[in-house]
Every structure is written in C-alpha cells, then in structure tokens.
A and B are shown apart, each in its own frame.
Chain A
Amino acid sequence: MQPELEITLPFFILITAWLAIVAKNLLTAAVALTVFSFLMALAFVSMGAVDVGFTEAVVGAGVTGVFIIVVIFKTARRTQDRSDMRFKYLKGLAIAAFGALLIYGSTALPIRGDADPPMNRPISLIGSVNAASYYIQNAYKDAETPNMVTVILADYRGYDTLGEVIVILAAGLICFLLLRKQGRQREIQR
C-alpha cells in the first residue's frame, strides 16, 4: 500500500466504525456499516488482496447492509436503550486488557511483504513440517495453474470449496424464502 493512503484510509475506517457504534438511529448505523465495508474493501484492494476485497464488498457492503435494513423494518422495537452501569470500570478494564493483548500479539507478526516469514519456511519454529512451503514449491507442478491461491482453493481443498458452495446456496435459498412477498398467505389469514 502507498504510505499516503496507508495514513488516510484507516482514519476514515475508524471514523465510520465509530459512527456505526454511536449512532442513535439504527438505520444510520446500518448505512455507516455499509460505508465501513466499502472502505475496508478498498484497503484490501490497495494492499493487493483483490479477491478478499471483492468478498468484503459483496458480503459486507451489498448483502449485509440490505439484510440489516430489512430486519430493522420487519421487527418492532419493544425495549428502551438503558445501559447497565454496574461493573462499569471492570468492563472497561476487561476491554482494555483484551486490546492490549491483541496489540502485543500483533507485534510478533511478520512485516507485510516479507518474502521469508516463519510460516513459509520448510520447517516451522517448533520443528514440524510446514504446509505452505509445499504449496509454494509444488503448486505449479501439481496443477499447472499460475495462480497459487486458485490451486489451493480449487484443487488441494476442492471438497472444502464444494461444501462452501452448498452452504452459500442454502443460505441464499433461505433468504429468498424468508424475504419473498407473502401476500396470498396474509389474505387467507384475514
């Protein structure tokens, strides 16, 4: 990613995430989440992970935004906003500790663009054999496809991808059945 974009884009991502949290109107929060997903997809694309960015745009910006709006309109609000003020400092302490733990863990990650990170070496840090180095060395020989990610997803893990397709088809069918117009049934019930 370019260093200039690397500074400005996360700033906007943080702004939209904050908007989605603090917005009192639920529809505002839903639209802010859509914008968040679009900017997140842009960040993925600018890092070169085009497929991940595309998935984020389809699922986050397209489907989830529409579904959240549909759910807001289909359901009724029966409770009031009332925050539980007990253990306020304890909750804040737990969240801060978890954030500190995540930041501490992220310091051990390899630098982005590193050609020789520990997980791509033939032998991992604890002495076992790494799968990633096998994929890097043999992906082209096994499948004759230039893109390594495609080989792993569609060839080595082909059955896994088939299962994912079935899950996505089931989810799409369920959404279609839930959201279709139920005009005739309503007429009969009346």
Chain B
Amino acid sequence: MQSFFIYISVILTIIILIPLYRVYIGPSIYDRVLGAGSIGTKTLVLICLIGFAFDRFDMFLDITIAYAVLNFIGVLAMAKYLNSMRGKNE
C-alpha cells in the first residue's frame, strides 16, 4: 500500500507539467493565475499522499486544509487586484 501511494504521488508530480504548460504559454494573465491555482490543488493532494507515506495522516490533513485556504486566498487576491486594475489600463 505504501508503494502504491508513492507511485500515485510520482504520477501526480508528472501531471503538474500540464498546468505548467498553461502557465508558460497562457495568452492572458488569467490563464496563468488559473494554472498556478491548479498546481496548488495538486500540491494539496500530494501533501495528503506524503502524509500516508509518513504514517501521520491526521497531522498532514490539518496542514492540507491550511494550504487549501492559502491557495484560495492567493488566487483570490491576485484576481481581485487584476479586476481593480482592468478599468485603468485598458
């Protein structure tokens, strides 16, 4: 079961390439922020899987919740700022 979680975490790490491509290519800033947000979501699942590997899932679940809040606040702050700047630049 341990190695199963570890292989899943490696596959998830490789899947990060897809939103990373969107962060690099993404024509607008919104695509890039969304790509960063989805990479943050993958980070959450990876922290859960690492918690299984360390056999201390209860502690890592708390950390995951805090990460989720942080990720949400970060994307929200960027989106709010971009929204407030939109009228002035265009």
Name A's B-contacting residues (CB within 8 A). 2, 4-5, 8-9, 12, 15-16, 19, 23, 27-28, 31-32, 34-35, 38-39, 41-42, 45-46, 48, 50, 53-54, 57-58, 61-62, 65-66, 69-70, 73
For chain B, the bracket of interface size reads 35 or more
Chain A residue contacts of B33, Cβ below 8 A? 31
- The residue that B13 contacts in the complex, of A5, A65, A66, A69, with Cβ under 8 A, is A5
Contact A46 to B50, CB < 8 A, known contacts A12-B16, A19-B24: yes
- Are A28 and B66 interface neighbours, CB within 8 A? no
Interface SS of chain B: helix
Are A38's CB and B39's CB within 8 A? yes
**Residues of chain B with a CB closer than 8 A to A42's CB:** 43, 46-47, 50
CB distance from A38 to the nearest CB of B (A): 5
Assess the A73–B13 pair: CB atoms within 8 A: no
Contacts of A31 in B (CB 8 A): 23, 29, 32-33, 35-36
